[in-house]
Amino acid sequence: MKKVFILVFVQVVTLASFAQNDTTKIEQYCQVIVTPRMLSNKVTIDIDFGEEKSFWADTRIRTYDGKLKKFNTVVDALNFMGKEGWVFINAYPVNNGNIEIYHFAFKKQFTRAEVFAVK
């Protein structure tokens, strides 16, 4: 009886440990929004990951050493997204009066554990 109990206990512990390693893949999406600045050749680049915006929280992109990430050009931002593993899907302009705002859509696969650990 003791051997059966130990065998059942080991199987339950083994199954429980596998349940925490969920490797189901989930696609997540984001978009890079490029807006021209007034009276300048430069642009403002925003990356929308779909998170809730807050006046009190700073959600700007930072480098690995904690400094704010500045993009020199649109191509610099697109190369950054590629280096981070994001895959380009589509680009489209939105005409807002006399200003054209460009949107670049990206996707990336994460494990289920990565997605729900962040939120």
More confident residue, 118 or 28: 28
pLDDT attached to residue 57: 77
Q: What local confidence, expressed as pLDDT, does residue 90 receive? A: 96
Residue 50, pLDDT score? 86
The number of C-alpha atoms within 13 Å of 97 and in the hemisphere containing its C-beta is 3
Q: What one-character-per-residue DSSP string does 44-70 give?
A: EEEEE-SPPP-SSS----B-TTSPBP-
Span 78-94, pLDDT tens digits: 999 999 999 999 999 99
Neighbouring C-alpha atoms within 13 Å toward the C-beta of 19: 6
Amino acid 16: pLDDT: 56
Spans of all domains in the chain: 23-118
Given a cut of 70, whether residue 14 has pLDDT beyond it is no
* pLDDT at residue 7, rounded to an integer: 59
Distance CA 12, CA 1 (A): 17
> What is the pLDDT averaged over residues 47-70?
82
